[in-house]
Chains A and B, each alone.
Chain A
Amino acid sequence: MSKRITYESALNELQSIVAEIEGEEISIDELSKKVKRAAELLKTCQKKLRQTEEDVNEILSQFDEE
């Protein structure tokens, strides 16, 4: 999976997978693949979120130092 995927597109894909699973539009054949993909996306999103939080804190801490 490409690491360059944006949070936005990852989220969109995740949402569509959730909708598919909730709507029971997915065959069992696809399910594990989809869930695996969803897990990857979740991981990516969480990672990005963590990174963003750290970045924001770091950037803002520079202001506090002054």
Chain B
Amino acid sequence: MDELNLVIRSTFDATYWVVAEVANVSIAARGHMYLELVEKDQNQIVAKARANLWSYKKKQIISSFEEVTKQSVKTGMKLLIQLSVEFHSVYGISFQIHDIDPAYSLGELERERQETIKSLEKEGLLDFNKQYILPEVIQKIAIISSKTAAGYQDFLTQLQNNSSGYTFQSELFPSTMQGDQAGASIIKALEKVEKNKTSFDVLVIIRGGGSNLDLACFDEYELNARLAQCILPVLSGIGHERDTSVTDMVAHTRLKTPTAVAAFILDHNNQFEEQLQDLFYRALSYSKSYVQNEIFQMKNWSKIITDGAQYQIISSEHFLKTSSFKINKGSINLINKSHIKLKQEKANLRLVTMRYRERQRYLLRFKYKQLELGVKDFTYLSTKKINQLKKELLNTILLTDFQKNKLDYLNHMIKLSDPNSILKRGFSITRKNGKAITHIHSIEKGELIETQLTDGSFKSIIKEKKQ
């Protein structure tokens, strides 16, 4: 066994520079680093070995590697390693790492990066996000960053303490920004942004303040392809110190630091405000000149209206005066004519009246004569009639005398038959119960009778009755 050991040692007594891919990295408690190295041919592992990096060498080798590559040694990385072969009689063959060439890894990383860029370019993704036109005002901001990152805090501070008084609504979609998991974590955060109900104006992807190691995720194809096709314009501020990352290339706008992103947003909004202000002043100046012009026009019109109105008023006044004059003149004319007519009528009236009077006088005279004649006739006839009546009256008087004589006679006769005169001559009237007794049989013996004389009466009772 010892002999075999010797043989092996003598056979592999040199150190070898080997290119291998890291399949696994583990660090032992004592500070030793164990690498599992593989060689692949189209994803098929064709060789595999373990390599040890003892702690006393590790510090120097790893720090120089990290300084150059800005990467820690990790799974999937291709390394150019200086190895020596060790054979342990108990543990068997193993490789011991003497050095790692950072330049090779750097070149390898750069090659991968270039490949990523090429693929993105081929697919049209490199400038895809740049097609977005940023909204005039950026206010709703989705942020992919780490909550604890100093860069994130810087960004918020810068954004909020702006002198223009702009307000922002920002939402953090937290993600690991560094290390192996960063790529997947950012993609997850990106998906959350895209599913979020808020329609953001931009996506800001920022980091800073942490270690500058292990930022390879920003060169990964998958993440950058996704970022390029993000539904929002992407503003990057991932703070690479060396050259730009692929993320910076696919971003809509790349900025060095989170603070620079905030400044960019503020500047963008400021530009819009200035544009507005400019437009406002232009509108103002245009309005002023427009109004000025209109005022001038109005003054013109006003003059035309004034003149027109005045002319109208003057001509109307003239018309009224003319009308008034015409009425005056016409009225006087009418009155004068009426006067003349009246005079004529007066003269006519006088003439007519005279004629009428003459005629009436003539008629009157005629009537008078007629009346005179009539009166004469009437007098004659009346006299005649009166004489006749006189005669008749005379006759009547004669007749009356005869009648008077007759009356006297009759009177005398009446006087003769008056009971009083009979009573005077000694006759009396005997009455029973007021009735004159003319027959003897109308009285009975014992009855009360009254006998009237010319100057009184007496009552007697019948004692005897004779026939």
Chain A residues at the B interface, C-beta cutoff of 8 Å? 11, 14-15, 17-18, 21-22, 24, 26, 28, 31, 35, 38-39, 42, 45-46, 49, 52-53, 56-57, 60, 63-64, 66
Contacts and interface: CB of A to CB of B under 8 A. Distances in A.
Nearest to A63: B302
B334 A49 contact: no
Given A60-B306, A66-B295, A49 B330 contact: no
Interface of B is mostly: helix
Contacts of A42: 320, 323-324, 327
Given A24-B337, A60-B302, A53 B331 contact: no
A59 to B, nearest CB: 9
Nearest to B339: A28
A28 B306 contact: no
Contacts of B306: 56-57, 60
B330 A18 contact: yes
Interface residues on B, range: 20 to 34
B313 A52 contact: yes
A57 B331 CA distance: 36
B305 interface: yes
Interface of A is mostly: helix
Given A31-B331, A35-B327, A42-B324, 18 more contacts: A18-B326, A18-B330, A21-B330, A21-B334, A22-B330, A26-B334, A28-B334, A28-B335, A31-B334, A42-B323, A42-B327, A45-B316, A45-B320, A46-B317, A52-B309, A52-B313, A60-B306, A63-B299
A21 B336 CA distance: 13
B327 A17 contact: yes
Given A26-B334, A28-B335, A60-B305, A21 B299 contact: no
B323 A38 contact: yes
A21 B320 contact: no
B338 interface: yes
